[in-house]
Amino acid sequence: MNMKMIVKLSYASSPSSQIHLSKNKLQGRIPYAFGNLPKLEKVVLASNRLTGDIPASLGSSLSLTYVNLESNALTGSIPQSLLNSSSLKVLVLTRNTLTGEIPKPLFTSSTLTDIYLDENNFVGSIPHVTATPLPLQYLYLGGNKLSGTIPSSLGNLSSLLDLSLTRNNLTGSIPDSLGHIPTLELLNLNVNKLTGHVPSSIFNLSSLKSLAMANNSLTGELPSNLGYTLPNIKTLILSNNRFKGPIPPTLVNASNLKSLYLRNNSLTGLIPFFGSLLNLEEVMLSYNKLEAADWSFISSLSNCSKLTKLLIDGNNLKGKLPRSIGNLSSSLKWLWLRDNKISGHIPPELGNLKGLEMLYMDYNLLTGNIPPAIGNLNNLVVLAMAQNNLSGQIPDTIGNLVKLTDLKLSGNIPSSLGKCVALESLEMQSNLLVGSIPKSFEKLVGIWNMDISQNNLTGKIPDFLSNFSLLYDLNLSFNNFEGEVPAGGSFAMVYKGNLELQEDEVAIKIFNLGTYGAHRGFIAECETLRNVRHRNLVKIITLCSSVDATGADFKALVFQYMQNGNLDTWLHPKSQELSQGKVLTISQRVNIALDVAFALDYLHNQCATPLIHCDLKPSNILLDLDMVAYVS
Catalytic positions, please? 615
* Gap between the Cα atoms of 601 and 240, Å rounded: 38
Compute the CA torsion angle 565, 569, 575, 578 (nearest 10 deg).
60
User: Which distant-in-sequence residues (6+ apart) come within 8 Å of 191 by Cβ?
Assistant: 166, 167, 168, 214, 215, 216
Q: Is residue 226 left, alpha or beta, with left meaning phi > 0 and alpha meaning psi from -120 to 50?
A: alpha
Question: Which H/E stretch holds residue 211?
Answer: strand 210-212
Tell which residue, 311, 259, 249, 262, has the closest CA to residue 280.
259
Sign for the CA dihedral angle at 487, 492, 497, 500 comes to: positive
Instruction: Classify residue 22 as exposed, middle or buried by CB count within 10 Å of its CB (0-12, 13-18, 19+).
Output: middle
* Gap between the Cα atoms of 96 and 68, Å rounded: 11
* Gap between the Cα atoms of 473 and 485, Å rounded: 15
Tell which residue, 161, 160, 30, has the closest CA to residue 96.
30
CB 441 within 8 A of CB 468: no
Question: Which H/E stretch holds residue 314?
Answer: none
* Gap between the Cα atoms of 205 and 200, Å rounded: 9
* Gap between the Cα atoms of 402 and 417, Å rounded: 9
Q: Is residue 478 left, alpha or beta, with left meaning phi > 0 and alpha meaning psi from -120 to 50?
A: left
Q: What is the CA radius of gyration of the chain?
A: 30
Residue 195 to residues 169, 267, 487: CA-CA distances in angstroms? 12, 18, 57
CB 163 within 8 A of CB 141: no
* Gap between the Cα atoms of 4 and 87, Å rounded: 26
Residues, the chain? 632
CB 169 within 8 A of CB 144: no
Tell which residue, 417, 420, 461, has the closest CA to residue 437.
461
* Strand pairing category for 90-92 and 123-124: unpaired
Tell which residue, 6, 2, 8, has the closest CA to residue 25.
2
Residue 198 amino acid letter: V
* Gap between the Cα atoms of 59 and 53, Å rounded: 13
Nearest 5 degrees, angle CA 538-CA 544-CA 549?
Answer: 140
User: Which distant-in-sequence residues (6+ apart) come within 8 Å of 578 by Cβ?
Assistant: none
User: Which distant-in-sequence residues (6+ apart) come within 8 Å of 343 by Cβ?
Assistant: 318, 319, 320, 364, 365, 366, 367
617 half-sphere exposure, CB direction, 13 A CA radius: 5
| Residues paired with 266 in a beta bridge | 244
